[in-house]
Amino acid sequence: MGSKGRAERLICSAFDSGRGGGTRKVKCPADPGLEVASYMVDFTEGDDYVSWSSLGTGPVAFTPSGAEFTISRRGQSPTIFTNWYFFFGQVEVHLRAAWGTGIVSSVVLESDDLDEIDWEWIGGTADQVQTNYFGKGNMTTWDRGGKSDMGDTQHTTHNYTIDWTAEAITWYVDGAAVRTLAYENALGGRNYPQTPMRVKLGIWAGGDPANAPGTIVWAGGETDYSKAPFTMYVERVKVTNHNPAYSYAYMDYSGTWGSIMVNNEDDGVSDETKGDFVVGDNGIVTESNIHGAAPKNETDARSSGTGSRANGAGAPPPSFTTAAEHSGSTQPPNLSATSAAKRGRLFDWGSGLVLAIAAASVTVAFGAV
């Protein structure tokens, strides 16, 4: 599939959902899967250049403080995302949000058909975190967002965890649940995020004067770039994958979890979607600007069986509840892959392609459905 497949995946993401949230008949290519039940990276020890790609403008530096996402001037929005997808599980991120009026720090889980689960921090409000979700890009309802008051988010590292199952999504701060969304409460499940996701970490200026007035108000006001730099620090990320796989394929256009095929055979998707890393202003940099050995990260071995959740699937902490077993055709897949994860190179997100897809996204968002 190579570069063509990667472009198709971006186009699928841009064109699959209409303004009202209904999916269009655009066939998405298979997503490369997280082939193990548990993945962890400690960014205070360096970058994991095998598992993450960069997107957006502005560097991400890796220092003893963690991954540093910095806006130092207008037009920057440093972002990284996993080169693989996972299908139900938990995502745990230890971070400090950025300060600054209009500056938005974010942790986003996003699928190809625009299912999304979010954490967001507004730089002018240090004692609050926001949660949100989308189903197939549907933005016609305005009751999806939530706010949770808490301690200092900008000078103290907190553990922000999302527990995502076929039945409910729960957001946790330092192990305490702050919000739960049940499947049936998201437009009867139609607006419920339920397709394979990748993890995106980034920072952007919601208060940029070029943004829509409503966005600027939501972000807390217009950003004063003379007060830069604004930095978000991410120390560690852990992902527990309930359905390890080589790849995940959309079998129809419904966007339901039941339509996702979990592929445990090597179909080449994982390798072909990986490209080269770029070191520089639009890429990921370390303190020495040299990619050495990957940092210490943990991946547990896959079991040799299929058809049930592997023993090493990463049992969630006691505060979590996993998906209950379903019956009949409504049971979500819980298959474990059977061979070692392959390593590859990350994809260099060329600015031309990104701009083209961004333009296409705008056309879809505001054009006729």
120 part of the active site: yes
> What is the Cα–Cα distance from 342 to 357, expressed in whole angstroms?
29
Strands 89-96 and 168-173: unpaired
235 part of the active site: no
φ and ψ at residue 292, rounded to 5 degrees: -100, -145
The angle that helices 2-15 and 351-366 make with each other, rounded to 10 degrees, is 30
Beta partners for residue 205, in sequence order: 103
Catalytic: which of 35, 110, 120, 272?
120
**HSE (CB half, 13 Å, CA atoms) of 52?**
30
3-state secondary structure of 214: helix
Distances (CA, A) of 133 to 170, 192, 198, 209, 346: 11, 8, 14, 26, 28
> What is the Cα–Cα distance from 58 to 69, expressed in whole angstroms?
8
Catalytic: which of 116, 265, 298, 325?
116
Cβ atoms 80, 179 nearer than 8 A: no
Catalytic residues: 116, 120
